[in-house]
């Protein structure tokens, strides 16, 4: 037997060498959960229990999925690695493979949260509701939460017949939103899994195919799964139930977007005869930090009892700083960060609104900083360029058409655009018809370029064809560099190009599914970020600000456990 688990501790080795049947690994923070996952995969392959292609590993970020595949390859020195996906990437793969079974085409567009909010706003107006009164952001989040909880529109109708709150308005907005998404051949993140569940649940042949293909299922961060994701796992599991999940209910911090720690707590009910291993040897933090964390989380009921123990020394004691107000606190941060290397510092806050006063203080002190997780893909010029690419490949994408029809300016007004969207082209003047014809010709040229050139070269050509650089009045040089950087990113997909649009479609999907964690990279200066964004990261010095009642802990809404969630967030 290959000794791929020799460097694991006793509990890690017990988990990694598990072969048949379901297993739940309760892995406290810093206890080596990724090592257990990768060594378990390596053990299955090295000892002939499974071929790499028979193993499916699911994570929550593309970065984690790629790292897992690389680590496994390093352990067993194999050319072939298991299939590793994020949940959404898996959903996209299955939906594209079996689009003929669903109300979408194989080339459907994935809409991110910003785009879905805009479509929700259109649906709100179409339902005769005022977007100022019915926030598209809140409505889109509400609909997403219902889907993540496994509810279809019909399920929601049946469950809220007597509701007098937000539900009646949502009942009018949701069907219109759904219709607009279908008309634009688009899906949102929740649809990727809702439709995947439908596909697997209703088609026994397809379900059996994937159950036989992936005999071993492994899931990272299982405490962050929602009802829908757990349903997909259950449908993919075969009779042997070789489901191996790693997580920690104490680290469930995404209840507000549908995550439920009930999935990991009741895992042995969903999968009878499941074995459980608890990892509590921490390799990351010092004794003083772990003692504080243990004291906080022990106040929460209904959890797997464990106490993290330190591998290293006691370390420095935690410091409590008292400030009179937010500006005073920012000055204290500046004093600490300015007296050492700024790169070693991370400042964590509960809400993004807290960063402004800290930024002002750092700027005044001439201390470099970066707001971690700020999305490259949210920059105006990048979104515009991506909209051109998507619209050229999907002419039904009205959300993209609205965005770029006048970027650069073409003299196409709102009324003309609405007539185009409503199919009333005979109501448009001949002068504007000519402008629209030139726009369509540009889209044809872009589509032809995508068909003929690999993604990176195509994007560089599209930058020239659209003349976007000359459109912007500010930061022209920086915006041009950002668009060129998009082309550089696309170069990772050039080797998939064989003619046609598949390589560009793969790049667009990768962009749509990139998460905040995928975007966080090390950089110069103090790192500013929310406590949610900091999960799983490490820094030499950390300042947690705003520890006051009502801010952190924050008063939570009706969708999450109030105090328990805030304790888990501080613990993480």
What superfamily would CATH give domain 280-318?
Answer: P-loop containing nucleotide triphosphate hydrolases (3.40.50.300)
Q: What is the mean pLDDT of residues 267-281?
A: 94
Q: What is the mean pLDDT of residues 347-361?
A: 92
Summarize pLDDT for 48-82 with one digit per residue, the tens.
999 999 999 999 888 888 888 888 888 887 677 78
Given CATH 3.40.50.300, say whether it is the number of domain 10-92+195-276.
Answer: yes
316: its two tokens: 């420095």
User: Of 120-129, 459-468, 516-525, where does mean pLDDT reach its minimum?
Assistant: 516-525
Q: How far apart are CA 503 and CA 506, in angstroms?
A: 5
Query: Is the pLDDT reported for residue 516 higher than 60?
Result: no
Query: Is the pLDDT reported for residue 47 higher than 50?
Result: yes
> What is this structure's pTM?
0.88
Summarize pLDDT for 444-491 with one digit per residue, the tens.
999 999 999 999 999 999 999 999 988 888 778 888 999 999 999 999
DSSP string for residues in 294-345 = HHHHTT-SSS-----EESS---PPP-----SSHHHHHHHHHHHHHTS-GGGE
Q: How confident is the model at residue 1 (pLDDT cuts 50, 70, 90)?
A: very low
Q: How far apart are CA 532 and CA 569, in angstroms?
A: 7
Q: How far apart are CA 24 and CA 97, in angstroms?
A: 31
Q: How confident is the model at residue 161 (pLDDT cuts 50, 70, 90)?
A: low
Q: For residues 455 and 411, which has the higher predicted lDDT (pLDDT)?
A: 455
Query: Is the pLDDT reported for residue 248 higher than 90?
Result: yes
Which run of H or E residues covers position 219?
strand 216-219
Whether residue 259 contacts residue 226, with contact meaning beta carbons closer than 8 Å, is answered with yes
Closest alpha carbon to 460 in 387, 385, 533, 405: 385
371: its two tokens: 């707001």
Q: What is the mean pLDDT of residues 318-330?
A: 94
Q: What is the mean pLDDT of residues 152-173?
A: 81
Query: Is the pLDDT reported for residue 390 higher than 80?
Result: yes
Whether residue 464 contacts residue 355, with contact meaning beta carbons closer than 8 Å, is answered with no
Q: Can you give the length of the chain in residues? A: 572
Which run of H or E residues covers position 347?
strand 345-349
Residue ranges of the domains in the chain?
10-92+195-276, 109-184, 280-318, 326-368+524-571, 377-509
Q: What is the mean pLDDT of residues 426-442?
A: 87
Whether residue 68 contacts residue 37, with contact meaning beta carbons closer than 8 Å, is answered with yes
Estimate the share of the chain in helix, then strand, then coil, as percent rounded to the nearest 5: 55, 10, 35
The position carrying tokens 């004691």 is 317
Q: For residues 515 and 222, which has the higher predicted lDDT (pLDDT)?
A: 222
The position carrying tokens 């201390």 is 367
pLDDT at 164: 55
* Torsion sign across C-alpha atoms 409, 411, 414, 417: negative
Phi, psi of 569 (to 5 degrees): -65, -45
DSSP string for residues in 440-489 = HHHHHHHHHHHHHS-HHHHHHHHHHHHT-TTT-SS-HHHHHHHHHHHHHH
pLDDT at 190: 95
pLDDT at 180: 95
Summarize pLDDT for 194-207 with one digit per residue, the tens.
999 999 999 999 99
pLDDT at 515: 55
362: its two tokens: 């750092």
What superfamily would CATH give domain 326-368+524-571?
Answer: P-loop containing nucleotide triphosphate hydrolases (3.40.50.300)
Q: How far apart are CA 572 and CA 569, in angstroms?
A: 5
What separation, in Å, do the N-terminal and C-terminal C-alpha atoms of the chain show?
37
Q: What is the mean pLDDT of residues 269-296?
A: 93
Which run of H or E residues covers position 279?
strand 275-279
Q: For residues 164 and 273, which has the higher predicted lDDT (pLDDT)?
A: 273
CATH annotation of 377-509: 1.10.486.10
Sorted by sequence, the CB contacts under 8 Å of residue 405 that are 6+ apart come out as: 412, 417, 439
Query: Is the pLDDT reported for residue 519 higher than 70?
Result: no
Phi, psi of 469 (to 5 degrees): -55, -40
220: its two tokens: 């990272």
- Please report, to the nearest 10 degrees, the dihedral formed by the alpha carbons of residues 549, 554, 557, 560 taken in order: -110
Summarize pLDDT for 532-549 with one digit per residue, the tens.
988 888 899 999 999 998
pLDDT at 165: 67
Q: How far apart are CA 58 and CA 110, in angstroms?
A: 19
How, if at all, do strands 23-27 and 345-349 pair? unpaired
Cis previous bond, 484, omega within 30: no
Query: Is the pLDDT reported for residue 373 higher than 80?
Result: no
Same fold for the pair 10-92+195-276 and 280-318: yes
344: its two tokens: 């070693």
- Please report, to the nearest 10 degrees, the dihedral formed by the alpha carbons of residues 149, 155, 160, 162 taken in order: -160
Cis previous bond, 287, omega within 30: no
pLDDT at 6: 85
Q: How confident is the model at residue 23 (pLDDT cuts 50, 70, 90)?
A: very high
Count of CB atoms situated within 10 Å of the CB of 370? 17
How, if at all, do strands 55-59 and 23-27 pair? unpaired
Which one of 378-382, 424-428, 555-559 scores highest in mean pLDDT? Answer: 378-382
């Amino acid at each position: 037997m290959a000794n791929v688990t020799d460097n694991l501790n006793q509990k890690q080795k017990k988990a990694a060498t598990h072969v048949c049947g379901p297993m739940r690994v309760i892995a406290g923070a810093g206890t080596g959960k990724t090592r257990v996952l990768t060594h378990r995969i390596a053990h299955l392959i090295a000892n002939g229990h499974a071929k790499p292609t028979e193993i499916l590993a699911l994570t929550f970020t593309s970065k984690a999925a790629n790292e897992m595949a690389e680590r496994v390859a390093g352990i067993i020195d194999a050319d072939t690695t298991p299939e590793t996906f994020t949940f959404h990437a898996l959903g996209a793969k299955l939906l594209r493979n079996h689009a003929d079974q669903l109300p979408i085409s194989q080339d459907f567009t994935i809409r991110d949260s910003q785009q879905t909010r805009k479509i929700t706003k259109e649906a709100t107006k179409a339902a005769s509701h005022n977007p100022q009164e019915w926030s598209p952001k809140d409505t889109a989040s509400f609909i997403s939460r219902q889907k993540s909880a496994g509810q279809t529109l019909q399920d929601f109708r049946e469950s809220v017949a007597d509701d007098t709150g937000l539900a009646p308005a949502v009942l009018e907005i949701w069907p219109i939103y759904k219709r607009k998404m279908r008309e634009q051949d688009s899906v949102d993140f929740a649809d990727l899994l809702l439709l995947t569940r439908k596909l697997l649940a209703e088609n026994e042949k397809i379900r059996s195919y994937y159950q036989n293909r992936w005999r071993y299922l492994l899931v990272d961060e299982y405490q962050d799964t929602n009802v829908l994701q757990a349903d997909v796992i259950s449908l993919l599991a075969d009779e042997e139930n070789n489901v191996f999940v790693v997580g920690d209910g104490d680290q469930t911090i995404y209840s507000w977007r549908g995550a439920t720690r009930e999935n990991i707590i009741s895992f042995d009910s969903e999968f009878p005869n499941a074995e459980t291993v608890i990892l509590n040897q921490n390799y990351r933090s010092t004794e003083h930090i772990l003692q504080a964390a243990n004291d906080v989380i022990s106040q929460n009921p209904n959890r797997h009892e464990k106490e993290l123990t330190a591998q290293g020394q006691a370390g420095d004691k935690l410091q409590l700083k008292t400030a009179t107000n937010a500006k005073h606190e920012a000055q204290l941060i500046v004093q600490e960060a300015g007296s050492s290397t700024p790169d070693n510092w991370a400042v964590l806050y509960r809400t993004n609104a807290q960063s402004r006063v800290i930024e002002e203080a750092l700027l005044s002190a001439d201390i470099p900083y970066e707001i971690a997780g700020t999305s490259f893909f949210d920059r105006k010029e990048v979104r515009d360029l991506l909209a051109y690419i998507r619209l050229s490949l999907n002419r039904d994408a009205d959300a993209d058409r609205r965005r770029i029809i006048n970027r650069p300016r073409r003299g196409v007004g709102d009324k003309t655009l609405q007539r185009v969207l409503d199919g009333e082209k005979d109501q448009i003047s001949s002068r504007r018809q000519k402008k629209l014809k030139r726009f369509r010709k540009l889209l044809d040229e872009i589509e032809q370029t995508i068909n003929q050139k690999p993604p990176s070269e195509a994007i560089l050509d599209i930058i020239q064809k659209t003349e976007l650089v000359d459109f912007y009045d500010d930061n022209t040089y920086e915006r041009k560099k950002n668009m060129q950087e998009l082309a550089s990113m696309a170069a990772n997909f050039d080797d998939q190009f064989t003619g046609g649009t598949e390589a560009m479609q793969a790049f667009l999907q990768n962009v749509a599914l990139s998460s905040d964690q995928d975007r966080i990279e090390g950089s110069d200066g103090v790192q500013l970020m929310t406590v949610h964004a900091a999960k799983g990261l490490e820094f030499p010095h950390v300042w947690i600000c705003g520890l006051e009642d009502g801010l952190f802990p924050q008063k939570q809404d009706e969708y999450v456990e109030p105090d328990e969630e805030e304790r888990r967030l501080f613990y993480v």
